[in-house]
């Protein structure tokens, strides 16, 4: 979306998560495994960014990255997040663990864990859980998919149900369970109940996965929004490559390049609110007083 006010233009057209060519160019060929968090994201095609760059706007933010969120690929609803993995283990399609599922609280670490999922074959993994996860208070709040879990009465049956090598998953579970030690388990706070002698380690909530029924959810990384965009000054004016404002051109929201490496929660909506208001007020004032 581009809003015009008497010769001033405010670009508010989002990132480029819906543009396969830009995704491949900046994020890489593995972006074929990414999809926008919701169907509306396909309309964020980066036209505003491309037009601004074509008139010498300065880029900002990490063009090679994006805000990652773990979702259930079976679902077609918006944001079918699966955030229950700190209470189980994550395995790839070969039945192998590949990351610490619980390096800290899920709100602070889910993006980093999701990027590890994206690195796996076909960009996919499964969270494997046993019956104990259903005793975590309000555990359903961490499962937003509309699809039911894959359930089996045994670990071997679960391996067959999700299509990973049975012996590989059984060996992974055996090694994980053997590395679990007793501790003061506290599911709603960091408890430092960690594995010992296991690589990769699990830092918190490391209980053996041995109680039927066994549950699994498939997980892929989705693209909430891209990190690369335009550079603006405190008045929301788009800057050129020399750091000077481009006359009459403003930006607000996701089109502003802000993030490097990791996303700070709630700030994407906030920068739309803040810079949208600033851009409108500054454009109106400059029009009123005839300044550039």
Domain of 16, CATH number, reads 3.50.50.60
Tell me whether strands 245-251 and 2-5 are parallel, antiparallel or unpaired: unpaired
DSSP 25: H
| Domain co-membership, 203 together with 143 | yes
Q: Select from 192, 221, 250 the last residue of a domain.
A: 221
SS3 content of the chain, % helix, strand, coil (to 5): 35, 20, 45
* Domain end residue (candidates: 221, 245, 266): 221
33 & 82 share domain: no
What sign does the CA torsion over 179, 185, 187, 192 have? negative
For the chain, 292 residues long, give each residue's pLDDT as a single digit of tens. 555 555 789 999 999 999 999 999 999 999 999 999 999 999 999 999 999 999 999 999 999 999 999 999 999 999 999 999 999 999 999 999 999 999 999 999 999 999 999 999 999 999 999 999 999 999 999 999 999 999 999 999 999 999 999 999 999 999 999 999 999 999 999 999 999 999 999 999 999 999 999 999 999 999 999 999 999 999 999 999 999 999 999 999 999 999 998 888 888 889 999 999 999 999 888 766 555 5
Could you tell me which residues come within 8 angstroms of residue 273 by beta carbon, excluding any fewer than 6 positions away?
A: none
Which residue from 103, 133, 130 is spatially nearest to 116, judged by alpha carbons? 103
172 shares a domain with 58: no
Domain count, the chain: 2
pLDDT, residue 44, reads 96
What is the value of pTM for the model shown? 0.90
Residues 90 and 141 in one domain: yes
> Do 134 and 255 share a domain, yes or no?
no
Q: Are residues 41 and 77 in the same domain?
A: no
Domain hosting residue 185, numbered range:
70-221
Give the domain CATH number at 186: 3.90.700.10
List Cβ neighbours of 148 (8 Å cut-off, separation of 6 or more).
none
Burial of 208 from C-beta contacts in 10 A (0-12 / 13-18 / 19+): middle
Cα dihedral value 246, 251, 255, 261, nearest 10: 80
Q: What angle do helix axes 155-162 and 166-179 make, rounded to 10 degrees?
A: 130
Q: Which residues contact 120 (CB under 8 A, 6 or more apart)?
A: 92, 93, 98
172 and 266 share a domain?
Answer: no
Report the distance separating Cα 241 and Cα 58, nearest Å. Answer: 5
Q: Are residues 76 and 217 in the same domain?
A: yes
Are 152 and 273 found together in one domain? no
Residues 12 and 132 both lie in one domain: no
Q: Residues 78, 99: one domain?
A: yes
d(CA 243, CA 234): 12
Among residues 134, 143, 128, the alpha carbon closest in space to that of 84 is found at: 143
Return the C-alpha torsion angle 91, 97, 98, 101, nearest 10. 80
134 and 272 assigned to the same domain: no
Structure tokens at 209: 């996965």
Distance CA 247, CA 252 (A): 16
Residue ending a domain, choose from 200, 221, 242: 221
Q: Dihedral of the CA atoms 9, 13, 15, 20 (nearest 10)?
A: -120
φ and ψ at residue 220, rounded to 5 degrees: -130, 165
According to the model, what pLDDT value does residue 2 have? Answer: 56
């Amino acid at each position: 979306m581009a809003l015009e006010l008497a010769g001033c233009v405010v670009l508010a057209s989002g990132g480029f998560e819906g543009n396969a060519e830009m995704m491949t160019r900046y994020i890489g060929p593995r972006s074929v495994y990414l999809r926008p968090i919701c169907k509306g994201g396909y309309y964020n095609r980066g036209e505003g960014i491309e037009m601004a760059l074509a008139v010498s706007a300065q880029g900002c933010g990490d063009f090679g990255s994006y805000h990652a969120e773990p979702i259930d690929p079976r679902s077609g609803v918006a944001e079918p997040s699966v955030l229950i993995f700190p209470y189980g283990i994550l395995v790839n399609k070969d039945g192998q663990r590949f990351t610490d599922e619980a390096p800290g609280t899920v709100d602070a670490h889910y993006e980093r864990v999701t990027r590890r999922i994206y690195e796996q074959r076909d960009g996919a993994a499964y969270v494997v859980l046993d019956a104990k996860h259903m005793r975590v208070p309000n555990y359903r709040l961490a499962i937003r998919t509309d699809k039911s879990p894959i359930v089996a009465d045994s670990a071997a049956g679960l391996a067959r149900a999700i299509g990973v090598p049975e012996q590989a998953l059984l060996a992974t579970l055996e090694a994980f369970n053997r590395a679990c030690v007793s501790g003061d388990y506290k599911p709603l706070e960091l408890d430092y109940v960690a594995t010992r002698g296991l690589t990769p380690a699990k830092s918190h909530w490391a209980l053996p996965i041995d109680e039927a029924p066994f549950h699994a959810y498939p997980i892929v990384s989705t693209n909430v929004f891209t990190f690369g965009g335009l550079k603006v000054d405190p008045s929301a004016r788009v800057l050129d490559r020399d750091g000077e404002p481009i006359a009459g051109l403003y930006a607000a929201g996701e089109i502003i390049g802000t993030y490097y490496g990791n996303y700070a929660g709630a700030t994407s909506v906030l920068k739309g609110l803040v810079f949208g208001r600033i851009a409108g007020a500054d454009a109106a004032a400059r029009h009123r007083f005839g300044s550039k």
